[in-house]
Each structure stands twice: as C-alpha cells, then as structure tokens.
C-alpha cells in the first residue's frame, strides 16, 4: 500500500492522529446529562469545530438539535462545479459500563498489543479522525476535488433523534450528491467491507386482559382464563419450531447474496453457549441481514420473588420486529398487530400499540459511488476485493437522509470491526484499519470527483 503517495501521507500523519484521538477520547461525551456533565459533550463538539476550522472549512457551526444536544457542521467548498460529499460521524459515546472491568481507563487512549483502547476509539471518534486524515491526505497531494460537508452528531448512541429532526427542518443543510456514513465497520479487520443494507424495525406493545381482577389459583385455576398463559401462547406463535420468525403474511424466505457469515464465526461473535443451537433456517447471513427477526424485549407480569398463587387478570409485552430491506416497516407493523390479535386464544381481549418504527435501507451497489469506493479499497487493501455485508441493526439517520435526498448515494464504512468490541468494555481501534480506511476514503473522494 505504501507506494501510493496518498498512502505515504496518511502513514506520516498517523502519530499526530493518535494524539488527536487521545484528546477526543478524553472527553466523557456520553449524551446522557444525568450521568455525565453537558460540558464534556460541549468540549468534544468544540474540539471538532476547531479541527474543521484548522482544515479551512469556511462555514462551521454548532447546531442546537431538538433533543438538547449539539451536532457539529462544517462546509469546505470545492472547485467550480464539483460534486458535494457529506461525511458523517458521531462524537457521543456509550457509557463505559463497569469502569473496573476495563484493563486501562476508558477515557484515556492506551496502546496495547498493537491496538488503541478507549471508549469511542472506534465508535465513532475514530470516524471523526478518519475523515480528517482523508482530507489532509488529499490536500497534501493536489487538493480536495469535491465540496465537502462534515456532520458530527452529538446523540447517536442515545437514539433521541435530534439530528434527524434538525435535518428535516433544514433540508438544504445536508444535501449532497453522495454521503459517507463512517459509523459501521469491516466484516473483519483487513477485509474491506461496505454495509449495503440495514434492517428496519418496529416496536409494538401488546396487552391481554381476561378477568376483572386476579383470582386464587386453587379456587379458580383450571377454568378461569389466565391472561399470562394467553400472552405466552401468543408470543410463542411468533416463532416456528426451529425458532425462525413467523408473522402471518410476512415473507421470511429472502436470501442474502453478498458476503457469507460462517456459522462457527457467528457462534463466536454471539458467544453462544456450548451445546446451544442457533435458531432459524437458511444461511446465517440470510437470518440476520435478509429476513425478519422477532424479539420479546420485556414482559410485565409478577416477578418470581413475592409472587402469589394467582390466576393473572392481565399481562403485557413489548415486541420488537426487525424488518428486512424491501419490506415497508409500516406494513410489517400492521401484519404483526394482526398476527397478535388473530393468535390470542380463548376470546381474551387484546390490544396492540405501536411505539416506535424505522425503515430498512438498501444501497444501490451498482452506482458510480460504489465503483469509486471499490477501486479505492483495492489500493488501500492490496489483494482484497470489496465485500458487501448487511447489518441487522438500524441507523435511523440513514433513512432520514435517504428520504430527504433520494438521488444521493449512501455508503457505510467505518472502524467497528468485531475485535473493536464497541459498546462493551475494553473498546479499541486498530491503527491499521484507521490508516487503510483513511487512504480508502481519500482515494474514494478523488475517484468519485473523476
């Protein structure tokens, strides 16, 4: 890789990038101000704003988003008539969880075994540094051939949607020809990967009522309709014998045609206990990227400690349904609600309420931006070919941007490969991944401009 001038520049900038990432990681920018002071998030936002100004961004602003946090915006005009690329990352982080379980302090970037440890190192403060490195490398090698917008979100991990709502209220602000979301990661370190699909999701509360009040289970049990038993039966109807998701009318047979996800690898990634089977049928990638998946997130019923011998009069549950690309989340919600109602036994009263939703996302991988990225990755990762992976989770901002700018191409890359252990203790980033992905992003911008 090092023979390429852009790659040589990035390699020379890496020590400085480590020092910058250390400064950024030191801010305890958890966007939950009951846990961490607001000043920590504001410090990180100002750090990024200063960094953008230092790179010559003319229009830099801290945007007060409706959820009470700040997103950092910057604009760097390119040559006359150039395309516009939006680079996204977020500077807020997950809480460190059990600080005692970290081998080194979570907010001190620490090098160990060739990796840099710290909360946010990969997710997604490293993404901020990746964007800066790519731009600096281009500037040192003939200039930046596109107009660049940078947006660094301040509450992505909280899911409070501040930036989504801000973007909807100011639709011209983030308009771009192509958008690079720097918040995913390679399927494994060293394997260049673009995330080309995201599942959507819907959340439904289901309430079942059978009696005016709880009854003595000895006196009435056996004939009195038990609401908890009815709920258990309804929830069980959402899965086939092998554990695959079964919602009446919802297709669950799609196949994934990109990267394969080996079963043994998945067992390791998911830390499945010995002897416990995976659920569902088909390839693992089909199950986690291309098909719906139902999860019961919680049940309201008496806890075991303190329970009395009673037949339950009412019970409720919160059900999550991950929705694959190609399926409208609103349509899936209607099918889920109809299924829950249809499968409620014994004429029990049932009500359902939707409490959250996000659409699935599928990129057009035949578009010019994807070819530009594939060519860039081939230089950054010699001998490797760009892979397309899905992601089982959702990035709501992706759907907001796709809806606001239907013509824009959206690419998802980033530093969160499996070893990074994002959201867990001992999060880390691979400096090699940071280096290679910065080279790839720089060359992508150059290729795309061409």
Hey, is 61 helix, strand or coil?
strand
Whole-number Å distance between alpha carbons of 132 and 109: 18
Strand partners, 203: 320, 356
Whole-number Å distance between alpha carbons of 69 and 71: 7
CB 55 within 8 A of CB 44: no
Q: Which residues contact 311 (CB under 8 A, 6 or more apart)?
A: 211, 214, 215, 216, 217, 220, 221, 224, 226
CB 300 within 8 A of CB 317: yes
Whole-number Å distance between alpha carbons of 241 and 287: 15
> What DSSP state is assigned to residue 136?
H
Q: What share of the chain is helix, strand, coil (3-state, %, to 5)?
A: 35, 25, 45
Catalytic residues, by residue number, are 92, 156
Whole-number Å distance between alpha carbons of 201 and 357: 6
CB 410 within 8 A of CB 181: yes
Hey, is 352 helix, strand or coil?
strand
Q: Is 309 left (phi over 0), alpha (psi -120 to 50) or beta?
A: beta
């Amino acid at each position: 890789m090092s023979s390429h001038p852009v790659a040589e520049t990035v390699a020379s900038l890496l020590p400085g990038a480590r020092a910058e990432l250390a400064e950024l990681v030191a801010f305890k920018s958890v966007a939950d101000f009951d846990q961490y002071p607001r000043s920590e998030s504001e410090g990180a936002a100002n750090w990024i704003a200063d960094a953008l100004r230092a790179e010559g961004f003319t229009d830099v602003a801290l945007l007060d988003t409706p959820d009470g946090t700040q997103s950092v915006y910057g604009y760097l005009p390119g040559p006359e008539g150039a395309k516009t690329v939006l680079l996204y990352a977020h500077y807020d982080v997950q809480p460190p969880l059990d600080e005692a379980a970290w081998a080194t302090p979570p907010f001190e970037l620490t090098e160990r075994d060739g990796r840099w440890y710290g909360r946010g190192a990969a997710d997604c403060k490293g993404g901020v540094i990746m964007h800066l490195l790519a731009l600096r490398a281009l500037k040192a090698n003939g200039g930046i051939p596109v107009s660049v917008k940078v947006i660094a979100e301040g509450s992505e991990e909280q899911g409070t949607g501040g930036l989504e709502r801000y973007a909807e209220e100011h639709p011209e602000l983030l308009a771009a020809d192509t958008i690079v979301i720097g918040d995913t990661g390679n399927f494994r370190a060293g394997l260049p990967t673009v995330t080309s699909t995201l599942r959507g999701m819907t959340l439904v509360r289901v309430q079942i009522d059978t009696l005016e009040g709880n009854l003595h289970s000895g006196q009435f049990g056996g004939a009195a309709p038990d609401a908890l038993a009815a709920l258990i039966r309804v929830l069980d109807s959402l899965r086939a014998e092998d554990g695959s998701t079964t919602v009446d009318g919802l297709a669950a047979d799609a196949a994934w045609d990109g990267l394969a996800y080996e079963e043994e690898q998945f067992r390791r990634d998911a830390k499945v206990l010995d002897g416990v089977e995976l659920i569902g049928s088909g390839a693992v990638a089909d199950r986690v990227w291309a098909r719906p998946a139902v999860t019961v997130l919680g049940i309201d019923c008496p806890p075991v400690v303190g329970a009395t011998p009673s037949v339950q009069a009412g019970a409720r549950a919160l059900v999550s349904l991950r929705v694959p690309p190609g399926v409208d989340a609103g349509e899936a919600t209607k099918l889920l609600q109809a299924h829950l109602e249809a499968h409620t036994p014994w004429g029990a009263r049932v009500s359902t309420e939707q409490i959250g939703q996000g659409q699935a996302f599928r990129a057009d991988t035949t578009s010019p931006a994807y070819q530009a990225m594939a060519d860039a990755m081939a230089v950054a990762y010699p001998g490797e070919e760009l892979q397309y992976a899905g992601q089982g989770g959702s990035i709501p901002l992706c759907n907001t941007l796709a809806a606001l700018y239907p013509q824009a191409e959206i690419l998802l890359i980033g530093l969160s490969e499996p070893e990074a252990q994002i959201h867990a203790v001992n999060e880390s980033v691979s400096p090699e991944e940071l280096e290679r992905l910065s080279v790839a992003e720089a060359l992508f911008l150059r290729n795309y401009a061409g």
